[in-house]
Every structure is written in structure tokens, then in C-alpha cells.
Amino acid sequence: MLTAEELATRIQNYNPKSNFEMIVNAHKYGQIKHEGQFRKSGEKYFSHPVAVAEILVDQQLDDATIITALLHDTIEDTSSNKDEITKQFTSEIADLVDGVTKLTNMQLTSTETKEAENVRKLLMAIAQDVRVILVKLADRLHNMRTIKSMKPEKQLQKARETMEIYAPLAGRMGMQSIREDLEDLAFRVLNSEGRASIIRRFIVLQKETGDVVQRITDDMHSELEASGIQAKIEGRAKKPYSIWRKMQEKALSFSRLSDIYGFRIICSSDEECYRVLGVIHKRWRAVPGRFKDYISQPKSNGYRSIHTTVSGRNARRVEVQIRTQLMHDVAESGIAAHWAYRDGVRSENPFTVDPVKWITSLIEEFNTEEDHEAFLEAVKLEMYSDKVFCFSPKGEVIKLPKGATPIDFAYAIHTRIGNSCVGAKIDGLRAPLWTRLRNGQSIEILTAMGQEPQATWLEMTETGKAKTAIRRALREADRDKYIIMGQQLLRAAFEHFGKRATDKALENTAKKLRINDVQELYARLGSAELQPRDVINIIFPDFSTAKEPEIDQKLAVIGLAEGQSFNRRPCCQPLPGERIVGIATSGKGVSVHSIDCSTLASFEDNMDLWLDLHWHAGKHPSIYPITLEMTISNDAGVLGRVCTIVGDLGANISDMEFLDRKPDFFKLILTVDLRDVEHLHAILSRLDAENAVATVARTRRSGNHGS
């Protein structure tokens, strides 16, 4: 633990005007107040505030922020109070400490509190002074580094909260270094086996290829020096969580993942960045579709850099980021760069963006929204998403999250345009409404009188604004239908659990959920914005779902008319937990498809055949077959281990087909009977972590897999 003088000296090294005496007094004050207190690890408690202060010193922040870090637990855990801190130091520091204390007391992912309401309070606290979140992020980072001393259930709760709230918030603040550290530390708790498998494979790769990073760095230095360019080059392997996320998103095994190494080239000017880009592309082959110019089109959090991916040594892809030092400061520190000191003076970094504007717009946009879950969903989408910039026919730039569709674009212009949207033209050509937009495209929205939003649009949109408007329109247009469906859902759920609810209990539940009345509660249930389990848990909080009986297969789908049967189609093999739609067929049968099934395109001109269906909320039996395509090494016992993994996770292998047999590997198809989509994800994660499994992915094949 740093002494008061050591800490104050480190601060004066980058800020000679720092108040040495005040830093020392704050250190001694905190040490006295926390005297006799110990952490779960057995260390003196004050070692934690000092460690938090050290993290912020590394960011070269101002005195007030560092002192707040030293005192951030005094109001909550000691006899100190806000008035005393004001007298001892300043009102500015007292306000900051009080703000951090309020953030600490918010249980953001607790089931006992309103998560959305607390996230709203979190954003409002940040809007008062962004430095409170800088201290809180450093506090969370040190707590995650020392999380092993906590009880297992507390570790899981903190790790989920970190992954869902604090890591993406750090990213939205532009603090990529802290975001990556938080994600990886949370990943270690939430999926230690998956993280260990990534590290094991890295070790094997290094043994096979040697130090790839150093060799590529040397190659880049040689090329730049030959062109008369002096630049700093940093190379590294990507974090385990970053690799794992890419494996999940792209359904790739580690062996097929190419760009696991990243390089940063720090230049002296914007012009030199583009010169470096030319040198890199001249020496190495650029990968098509992997070039992004965030210098000419910065991200909304101020991030600027050129990104390109090239084929390096042995045809291995590497990602290259090219930026100036000022851009790099913002890329690493984000909003913290606004308070940072460089060479003894407050940094005036032209690339920093004040996130308060973003936070304020979120609060204003959703402050009147009664649906707190919609607010929470929108906040998380905003925090996680990168942006794309598209143009209206008049040349107006519309900023949208990555993955947005023409429907999002329509609602970004105006809710009326979104509600009446019937089609879109992208760069002058008609395109489906589910098309994912790309940077620089020109979008024209086609509208028609009498058009109303479709339920399937919810799965095609990315923005909270669009989702909220669509849900509101659906509730108003189909309110009666949703009320009836909600009543049926809730009645079926209560019967399934062997419970009953009085009208008064339902009225109280609606109030707790901030819903106007019971009819609106039914409507929310019918539109799938609320699950019957949520209602049951409020009315019967002590009820254990561990004893929950399995759902009868005939009752698995909600939304069918009396006497109708359903047929789960083999083209997409939908599982409980996935969004589904029904297509009415001849007789009383209904074909059930997942919302993203390509077969649905052939029914676009017959929307009257479409039915809005939902899987029954509850425990389903393991009877829904899906197919997995795998490549495994041809070694003794490998196939047996695969079968054991599937069996241990409560699934049954009902069919096996070998597609290819080679001396070193087998390629095969497994048909596995599962409960739901979570069951599928658990099996894929376990199999993918197995070293002998080169690839494993869900595949949709034709066959007789009806329900």
C-alpha cells in the first residue's frame, strides 16, 4: 500500500501544481477513519481506497477525483459524514464522495429492487458530475481484481452486474482499457472453464508458432522506417473474453478464429495516420470489408482511429489500429482524458466528448416512459452498441446502433414515419425491412396510409426508441386480442403451478410493476412484454420453481385457437425460448417457425396466414430435436467424451451421422433432444471448450423432426 507521501509524489510527477498537503491529509484522514476495519481477504480495509486512487493516478486525474477515491467509503462505512468532509476538504469533494456513496448503495441487478429505476438514478448521478463514475469504475475494477475473497454467490452477483452495467458503461464512456479488464475479470467468474480453455489454446498456439506479436511488430517497424516514418507500435493478443465473444457471435471455434492479435500504431498527425495505412496495405494484403475510418467519422463517445485487418505472417489475420497520441489517450481513457493532466497542465484534448449530453438525452427520452423495462433495455442497447451513420434523401445524417434496420431508421426520423413504414430503398434499390444497415448508405422510407406496425418488427429492430414505439402501437391496435391472450397465459400458468390468484392480488401486482390496471397487465402478458412467471413470483415470492412440473407438449405453444395443433418445422427447428411465429396450414394445423427462418420470406405476401405465437413460460421436457455439426479429432475416447458431456447436461443423442472420416478428424452430425435455447447454449459452450472439438455449431437441416 502506498504511503501518503508516495501517493502525493506520484501525482506531482504529472501535475506539479497538485495540492501535496491536501492529498497527504486525505490519505491520513481515510486511514484514521478506516482504522480497525478489514477486508474479507484479511487485509486492512484502507488498502482498498488507496488501490482505487492508484488506478486513477495511472489515468493522471485531478486532485479532487483522487481524494474522492481515498474517501469514497468513509460516509458509508465510518463515522464520517458529508458536512465533516466539507469542513476538512472542500464542498466539491464532499459532493463527489456523497455521489459515489449513493452509487454504491444501488443494487443494480438485485431482484429486490427496481433495476430500471436504479439504472435511471445511476445515470442521473453521473449527469451531476461524471467524475463519480470514474471513481466507481475504479472501485469496481479493484473489487473484481480481489473478488476471490467473496462468497461464491456474491461473486456471481457482482460479476453479472459488472458484465451487464459497469463494463458497457465504461465502454460508452470511451474507457476501453477499463472495459476490457472488467469484462475479462467478470468472465473469469461467470465462465471460468471457457476462459481457461481460451488460455490453454493460446499456450498451445505460442508453442507452435513462437512469439508472433514480436515478429510482426519488427516487420512493421522495418516497413515504416523504410518509408521514413517514426511511429510507436504496440502489439498484443486480445483478451480471453474478447476472443470468446467473437467465437460466440461468429459461431467459430478457436482454431478458425483468425484475428486474435491486435496492433496499434501511434503517429504524430492525422496525415501520418493515412501514410501509415498506405504502407501497411502496400506490404500486407488487406482483408475486404474490414476497413473502418473513425477519424473522418468518429464514434459518438469521441473514439477516433483507423481500423484495418491484414493477412500477416503465415496468412494469419491481424487487426491494425492507427491513431495519434491524442486519439490514443481518448481511446484508452475516454472521458477521463477530459480531467487528465499532461506535462503539468490540464489536458485540453479536442477529441473528448462529454457523455453528459448522451446521458441527459436518455433520461429525457425515457423519463415519461411508464415501462421501466423498455427504459432499461434501451439504456443497455445504447451502452453496448457501436454506431452506423446513414443518410436521409435530404442528406441528413442519422446515427443508429450497429445492426440497425430500415425500421430503426424510420423511427429515428419520426414515430409517425415508423408506424406507417411499408418498405425501404437502400442506395436507390428496394431492400427487405430486416436488412442490416451499413455506414454511408442512403435510406428512403416508403410509407402508406393505414399501415400499422407488425409484431415481427420487434425482432428486426435494435433501438430502444423503435421497440418502445412498436410495442405501444401494438398494445393500442391489438389491445383486446392481447388482453384475452394474457388472461389465457396467466390462467394456464397458475394451473400449471397449482396456484390461484385473487383480483386484489392481481391489482397489487400491477401497482408493483407500475402498470395502470389489471387489463393493462393482461395486455403486457399477451404481447410477451411480461412473463407469467414474473406475476407468480410477485404474488407467491416464497414459491420454489425447482419443483416445477414439466409442461405438457400439447400445451407448449400459446396463441393457438381451440382444437389447433402445431408442427415444429425442421427447416429452423425452433426451441422454447426463441421468438416464434405460426403459419396457418390446411386443416387445423399450424407450422411453427423461428422468427429468423428463411422459409418465412415465401409467406410475405400472405400476412393473413401469420400467427403471433409464444412458447409457454416454464420447464419444458427434453424432447425437441436439433442438429449439431461437429468436427472432432480422431483420437481414442474423443467421441465418448462428447457423448458424456451431452449426457451430463441432461440431453439425449437420438441420431448420429458421419459426414467425413479422415485420419486426423471426423466430421459428423448429432441430433440432440433439448429442453430450450438455454439448454442448447450450455451444450455448445461445454463442447466448444473441449480441446478435441475443433468446431461445433447448430445447423438447420431438412428432415422429419416434427413435434
The closest alpha carbon to 388, from 463, 319, 482, 459, belongs to 463
> Domain of 660: which CATH number?
3.30.70.260
Average pLDDT, the chain: 81
pLDDT for residue 562 is more than 50: yes
673 pairs with which residues across the strands?
625, 652
Residues 426 and 310 in one domain: no
Q: 26 and 168 share a domain?
A: yes
Any domain includes 661: yes
253 in helix, strand or coil?
coil
The answer on 298 and 172 residing in a single domain is no
Structural domain that includes position 26: 4-190
Q: At which of 425, 447, 475 does a domain end?
A: 475
Average pLDDT for 518-543? 78
* CATH number, position 436: 3.10.20.30
Between CA 584 and CA 566 the distance in angstroms is 9
Which of 43, 58, 77, 478 is flagged as catalytic? 77
Q: Contact 56/138 with Cβ under 8 angstroms?
A: yes
* pLDDT reading at 608 higher than 90: no
Query: pTM (2 decimals)?
Result: 0.53
Q: What is the pLDDT of residues 103-129, one digit of tens each?
A: 776 655 544 335 566 666 666 666 677
Q: What is the mean pLDDT of residues 70-82?
A: 90
Residue that the C-alpha cell 393482461 belongs to: 522
Q: Determine phi and psi for 28, rounding to 5 degrees.
A: -70, -40
77 classed as catalytic: yes
Tell me if 300 sits within 8 A of 22, measured CB to CB.
no
Q: Give me the number of domains the chain comprises.
A: 5
Cell matching residue 596: 429468423
Pair (100, 212) in one structural domain: no
Band the pLDDT of 336: cuts 50, 70, 90: low
Residue 331 cell numbers, joined: 481511446
- CA dist 336 and 175 (Å) reads 8
- Alpha carbon distances (Å) from 548 to 488, 612, 618: 19, 26, 8
Q: In terms of domains, do 465 and 482 share one?
A: no
Whether 620 and 576 have beta carbons less than 8 Å apart is answered as yes
**Residue 76 designated active-site:** yes
Apex 41 CA angle, 38 and 46, nearest 5: 40
- β-pair partners for 557: 615
Bridge-based pairing state of the strands 421-426 and 387-391? unpaired
What are the cell numbers at 223?
516497413
Asked if residue 199 is part of any domain, the answer here is: no
For residues 310 and 332, membership in a common domain is answered with: yes
pLDDT in tens, 622-667: 899 999 999 988 888 888 888 888 888 889 999 999 888 887 788 8
Domain assignment present for 704: no
Contact indicator for 35, 44 with CB cutoff of 8 Å: no
Residue 136 and residue 217 in one domain: no
Nearest alpha-carbon partner for 462 in 398, 361, 377, 530: 377
Catalytic position from the list 5, 6, 58, 76 = 76
Question: Residue 378 domain-assigned?
Answer: no
Residue where a domain stops, chosen among 190, 215, 242: 190
Task: Answer whether residue 575 is part of any domain.
Answer: yes
